[in-house]
Amino acid sequence: MFNTNTVNAKLTLKETVQLDEDTSYYFVCNEQVKCSGAQYSWDYTAEGDAVTVTGINVHERNYDGETYYDINATLAEERIVYTDEAFAQAISSLLNMEVDYTEQGMQDYGLVSMEA
């Protein structure tokens, strides 16, 4: 189960929604992340580019005795951030859990789709 008490103090829990066995946690923040430019040739970010994370949503789903986490990070900028290692590390640090990107087709301008 996701523990909201272990997230970084830079995140503020705004809302928790319980629906059956699933729980969604909505955090707000104003965290600037400097990108590394280290990604798989998508050319979305370059070393030194910065984006501002304004919110992180964690959706905890329970299925067949397993727990899955869908994570969406909202950006202030209309940017696509995909496969940038520094960004994934920053979100992992904020949530105190290891996260990674979902597939490319789930990314959008100003919204980063991830999972844990």
Q: Which of 29, 107, 112, 110 is nearest to 72 (CA)?
A: 112
d(CA 62, CA 90): 25
Instruction: List average pLDDT for each run of 10 residues in the chain, which is 116 residues long.
Output: 94 96 96 87 80 98 93 96 94 97 94 96
Specify the pLDDT at position 7: 97
DSSP-assigned letter for residue 104: G
Q: Where are the beta strands (DSSP E) in 1-116?
A: 12-19, 22-34, 50-63, 66-75, 100-101, 111-115
Domain boundaries, the chain: 4-115
In angstroms and rounded to an integer, the radius of gyration of the C-alpha atoms of the chain is 14
Specify the pLDDT at position 86: 94
